[in-house]
Amino acid sequence: MNMSSGIVSYGDMPKILYLTKDDVKSAGLTDEDFINCVSDSLWQQNLGKVDLVPKMSITLRPDARLNATAGWVEKLGAVGFNWSSYYPNNCNKGMNQYSGMIVLSDISNGLPYVIMDCFYIISKRTAAVTAVSAKYLARKDSQTVGIIGAGVQGRENLRMLQLVLPHLNLAKIYDISPNAVNTYIRTMSDEFRGKIVPCQSIEETVKDVDILITATAITENPAIQIKDKWLPKKGIFIAPLDLLSLIDRDTILRMDKISTDDCIQLKTMERDFSFNDGRFTQLDELCVGKKIGRENEEENTLAINFGLALHDIYIAKKIYDVAKELEIGTWLHPLTW
C-alpha cells in the first residue's frame, strides 16, 4: 500500500474513500475552519494559484436545476468537481432541496480517490463566503440582521455572521411558513448570542436593519418582493443568496460597492441592468487588500456570491485528510476499465 502522496492506493490505482454527510460532519471542521478555508482559497485565487470553471447549469424545469463546477488548488495539490442538484419541491417530499457530491482526483493520473456528500459543505461554505464578504463590506458595528428564509442558509448565515460581527445582537426572521420560523427560533436561540424576533411580513423584516440576508428559492422569473423604500437609505449590507430574486432594481442601482466571488459568473446573470461599472470588485481583491471595502458608515454595499468550486475543493481536501487520519468513511475498490 502506497501513501507517499497522501492518497491511499494499491500499486498505481488509488482506493476511493466514500464519505456520507454524517462522515463529512464527523471530520469536525468548525465554523471558523470554514471561514479560514474560504479566506485562504481567496488568497490563492488572487495569487493565480488556482484554476476554476464557471458554474454550468442544466435546467430541467423552472423548479429544478443541476449544477457542475470544477477547479484546482495548487497549494493543496487538489483537483476535482462538484455535482449538485437544486430541487425546491423536494421539501414537500421530506427530502433536502439540495443534494450532490464532490469528487477529488489524483493529479498524477486523474483517477478519483474520494467521493463525498456535498450538502454539508455547500451549506457551510455558502455562509462562510457571506461572512468573509461581511467582514469587508458590512459596518463593523452592525447590530441588526434581517433574514428572509428560515431554512438551512438562514441558520448557517446567522451562525457565521456573528463570528465576524461582534456587535450583532438582533436577528429578525421571516418565512412564508410559520412552522419554519418556529423551528428556526428553537434551533438558533441557544446558538445566537442576541435576540431572535419573528416577523409577520417582509416589510417588517427589512426595516431598520444593518444587514439583510435573503435565502429563498432561486427562480427563473424573479418576483420582486422587497421595495427599496422599505430599506435603510444608508449603511446597509445586503447578501442575496437567492441571486437577487427578491431585490428591487432601484436597490441595486443605489449600491455604492458591489462584490462578487467571480466576475465571469456574474456576467452570466440575465437582468435588465448593467454590472459593468466602477462599483464592482471581486471578493479575492478585497481579501488581499488590492481593493478597498467599506470606506465609511454611510456606504450601501452588496455581495452577490455564486459559490466557487475552488472553495469546495479546498474544504473537501481538508476533510479528506482528517477523515483518513481518523479512519472515517468507507473504502471502495479502485475504478478499473
What confidence tier does 34 reach under pLDDT thresholds 50, 70, 90?
very high
pLDDT at 276: 61
pLDDT for 249-308, tens place per residue?
A: 999 999 999 999 988 777 776 555 455 678 899 999 999 999 999 999 999 999 999 889
What is the CATH topology of the domain spanning 9-122+310-332?
A: ornithine cyclodeaminase, domain 1 (3.30.1780)
pLDDT at 281: 93
Q: Output 108 or 274, whichever has higher pLDDT.
A: 108
Beta strands in the chain (DSSP E): 9-10, 13-14, 16-19, 50-61, 64-73, 78-86, 98-105, 112-117, 144-148, 170-174, 195-198, 211-214, 237-240, 257-260, 280-282, 301-304, 330-332
pLDDT for 180-203, tens place per residue?
A: 999 999 999 999 999 999 999 999
CB 197 within 8 A of CB 174: no
What confidence tier does 2 reach under pLDDT thresholds 50, 70, 90?
very low
Domain range annotation of the chain: 9-122+310-332, 139-306
Q: Could you say which of 3.40.50.510, 3.40.109.10, 3.40.50.720, 3.40.1080.10 is the CATH number of the domain covering 139-306?
A: 3.40.50.720
pLDDT at 3: 46
Reading the block at residue 39, the C-alpha cell is 479566506
What confidence tier does 89 reach under pLDDT thresholds 50, 70, 90?
confident
Least confident of 3-7, 11-15, 81-85: 3-7
pLDDT for 280-290, tens place per residue?
A: 999 999 999 99
pLDDT of 238 higher than 60: yes
pLDDT of 170 higher than 60: yes
Beta strands in 135-236 (DSSP E): 144-148, 170-174, 195-198, 211-214
pLDDT of 95 higher than 90: no
Q: Output 43 or 13, whichever has higher pLDDT.
A: 43
- The sign of the torsion formed by the CA atoms of 88, 98, 120, 153 equals negative
